[in-house]
Structures are given as structure tokens and as C-alpha cells.
């Protein structure tokens, strides 16, 4: 297959490039590099099966030749990124998804949308199954991302229903691993960066808010299985080991061997920061036979090694 991955130089996009190349496909990565980085795909330069196109998918997308699948992963995805780029975030979810769907339709390609657990907002149902419609504040600070992805999902279903297009929607829960940006502001790079520098980990709020952290390899496997399936409705992909931010900080400190503890960063918590988040992954297990394989401590250990290498710190 010849596969177009928008956001192909991003954290998740670049891992998808690796995976599909390993499987023998031809990959075209497209990115405008506002939050992605060419460092993430530098190792693929010179691979005849890999192409990079520098382009903002919120503008008309032109890709010559055949395309068999379009994986739409372009979007700022960390809260500080989408607060910094609120209009670009809305545009890539709306115009970018429209352009990517239009390209897929013109090429007769399958289309897969990277959606998010943020479509559930600050959930009133716990854990969150795909049928839960969510609790999103459209005008809150996170609304630009949440509503962009909700609109993108609606657009994908409209193309599926009106044009009988072959489509998939993956709702991605918190994912971490090598190639996250150390300064993307999310809890995993923040905590790891602090831990490997021997600093106290900054807890926003009282640290009782929960998340479930999945390792990138498990997500990539889920995306591949979904693409190969014929399942059109949204599917959650995420782990179900729920930890509070405070508990997570203790785990990161333990794995990194940091004894500087934690510190409460008063006033840093963004309004609308969900208090709980945990996927119901029954559907992924039933229709994709997908089960996450990586223990949190192991995934963190691999990610810590990566960040130490990036910062040229001893392993």
C-alpha cells in the first residue's frame, strides 16, 4: 500500500511511519512542523519507500499518484500547544480533516482519523465507553481541541454515510514514549525532564486527577489492527491502569531514581482539566483482539532512556 500519514513528523505519526515501512508499505509523511519535528523522521531520509512533504493540511492537499490509505494524525495535541495555536487547532480538525477526506475520496483510499479521549471532555461516566457522548465545554480553553476533534468525527461519519467511504476513527487516550517533545508541556515529558535533572516533579492542582498512560507501541498496534478491520464506528485505544497524577509522579521518580520528590505548582492547572479519564476498551478487545502489552514501569524506563539520550545525560 501507499499510505499518507498527515502529522507524519509528530510523536505518534513518526512511529506509524516506522511501523508501516517495516510492514513493507510505501509511506508519504506530511507535516507543517509547527509541533512535529524533522528529527523524528531523520532516520528515514534516504529510504526509497519514504517521502516527506512539507505542507499544512488545512490548505488543499495535492499528492500525485496512487494512495491506498490516509491516516489523519496532524494536529497540535498537548494542552499548551493547542492553547498556543487555538485557531490552527480548529482549522486542522475542520479544514484539514475535510481536505484529507477529499483526497482519500478522490484516490479511493481508506481513511483513518486520529481522534481523542478529549471528545469525552470532563467525563460524567467512568470509565468511558464509545457510546458516551461526553461533557465538553465548547468555549472553555480546551474547547478548541475537543470541538475540532468532535467536528472531525462528525465529518468522517458524514463522508462514510453520504459517499460510502471506507473510514475508521480511533479515540486515543494518553499516550507516551520516545519522540515526545521534552517541552510539549504534558505530564510525561514534564515529569521525566524534571526527574532526570534531579528536580522535584510539578503537581498541578492537588494531584488527585487520574489518567491511564499507554506506551506508544501499544497504540501503534491498535491503529494497525483498526485499519485492517472493517469497523467504522469509533474505537477507544488506551490502557486501563488508572493512576492519579500524584501516584504517577511517585512512579516516575522511582523508575528514574530521583529522590527530589514532588512540589505543588499552584495555579498551573488549566481550567477544564478533566478530573478522571479511563477508557472502556471492551470494544477494542472484542473487535480487534487488542490488548496493551507494555507495563507502565517498562514503558517509562524506555522513555527515560530516550530523554536522557536527547539531553546527552549518562544512561
Q: Provide, rounded to whole angstroms, the least separation between the CB of residue 235 and ligand UDP.
A: 19
Taking CB under 6 A as the rule, does residue 240 contact ligand UDP? no
Cβ proximity to ligand UDP: between 276 and 294 the closer is 276
Q: Does 245 bind ligand UDP (CB under 6 A)?
A: yes
Each residue 65-84 as x (binds ligand UDP by CB under 6 A) or -, in order, gives: -------------xx-----
40 vs 116 by CB, closer to ligand UDP: 116
**219's grid cell:** 497504540
d(C-alpha 31, C-alpha 19), whole Å: 18
Name the segment binding ligand UDP (CB under 6 A); options: 89-97, 205-213, 250-258, 295-303. 205-213
Is residue 179 a contact point for ligand UDP (CB under 6 A)?
no
Q: Is 226 in the site for ligand UDP (CB under 6 A)?
A: no
For ligand UDP, give the closer residue by CB, 160 or 211.
Answer: 211
97 touches ligand UDP (CB under 6 A): no
User: Does the footprint of ligand UDP cover residue 186 (CB under 6 A)?
Assistant: yes
Peptide bond into 127 cis (omega under 30): yes
Binding test (CB under 6 A) with ligand UDP, winner from 209, 236, 253, 303: 209
Kindly determine how many residues on this chain lie close enough to bind ligand UDP according to the rule CB under 6 A: 15
Closest separation between CB of residue 296 and ligand UDP, Å? 14
When the beta carbons of 38 and 135 are compared against ligand UDP, the nearer one is 135
Q: Is 134 exposed, middle or buried (0-12, 13-18, 19+ CB in 10 A)?
A: middle
**296 interacts with ligand UDP by CB under 6 A:** no
Is 145 one of the catalytic residues?
A: yes
With respect to ligand UDP, which residue has the nearer C-beta, 30 or 245? 245
Angle between helices 245-256 and 187-196 (to 10 degrees): 40
Q: What residues between 263 and 282 interact with ligand UDP by CB under 6 A?
A: 269, 273
Report the catalytic residues. 145
Chain residues in the site for ligand UDP (CB under 6 A): 78-79, 174, 186-187, 190, 202-205, 209, 211, 245, 269, 273
Amino acid at each position: 500500500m501507499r499510505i499518507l500519514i498527515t502529522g507524519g513528523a509528530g510523536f505518534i505519526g513518526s512511529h506509524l511511519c516506522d511501523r508501516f515501512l517495516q510492514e513493507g508499505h510505501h509511506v508519504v509523511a506530511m507535516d507543517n512542523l509547527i509541533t512535529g519535528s524533522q528529527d523524528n523522521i531523520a532516520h528515514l531520509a534516504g529510504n526509497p519507500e519514504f517521502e516527506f512533504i512539507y505542507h499544512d493540511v488545512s490548505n488543499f492537499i495535492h499528492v500525485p499518484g496512487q494512495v491506498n490509505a490516509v491516516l489523519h494524525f496532524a494536529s497540535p495535541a498537548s494542552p499548551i500547544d493547542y492553547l498556543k495555536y487555538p485557531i490552527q487547532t480548529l482549522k486542522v480538525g475542520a479544514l484539514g480533516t475535510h481536505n484529507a477526506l477529499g483526497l482519500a475520496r478522490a484516490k479511493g483510499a481508506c481513511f483513518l482519523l486520529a481522534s481523542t479521549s478529549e471528545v469525552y471532555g470532563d467525563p460524567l461516566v467512568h470509565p468511558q465507553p464509545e457510546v458516551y457522548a461526553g461533557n465538553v465545554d465548547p468555549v472553555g480553553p480546551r474547547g478548541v481541541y475537543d470541538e475540532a476533534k468532535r467536528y472531525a468525527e462528525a465529518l468522517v461519519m458524514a463522508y462514510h454515510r453520504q459517499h460510502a467511504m471506507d473510514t475508521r476513527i480511533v479515540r486515543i487516550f494518553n499516550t507516551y514514549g520516545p519522540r515526545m517533545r521534552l517541552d510539549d508541556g504534558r505530564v510525561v515529558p514534564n515529569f521525566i525532564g524534571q526527574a532526570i535533572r534531579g528536580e522535584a516533579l510539578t503537581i498541578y492542582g492537588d494531584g488527585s486527577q487520574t489518567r491511564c498512560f499507554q506506551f506508544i507501541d501499544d497504540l501503534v498496534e491498535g491503529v494497525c489492527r483498526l485499519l485492517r478491520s472493517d469497523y467504522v464506528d469509533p474505537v477507544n485505544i488506551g490502557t486501563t491502569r488508572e493512576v492519579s497524577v500524584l501516584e504517577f509522579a511517585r512512579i516516575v521518580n522511582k523508575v528514574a531514581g530521583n529522590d527530589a520528590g514532588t512540589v505543588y505548582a499552584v495555579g498551573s492547572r488549566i481550567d477544564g482539566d478533566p478530573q478522571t479519564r479511563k477508557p472502556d476498551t471492551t470494544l477494542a478487545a472484542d473487535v480487534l483482539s487488542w490488548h496493551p502489552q507494555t507495563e507502565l514501569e517498562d514503558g517509562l524506563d524506555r522513555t527515560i532512556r530516550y530523554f536522557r539520550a536527547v539531553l546527552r545525560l549518562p544512561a
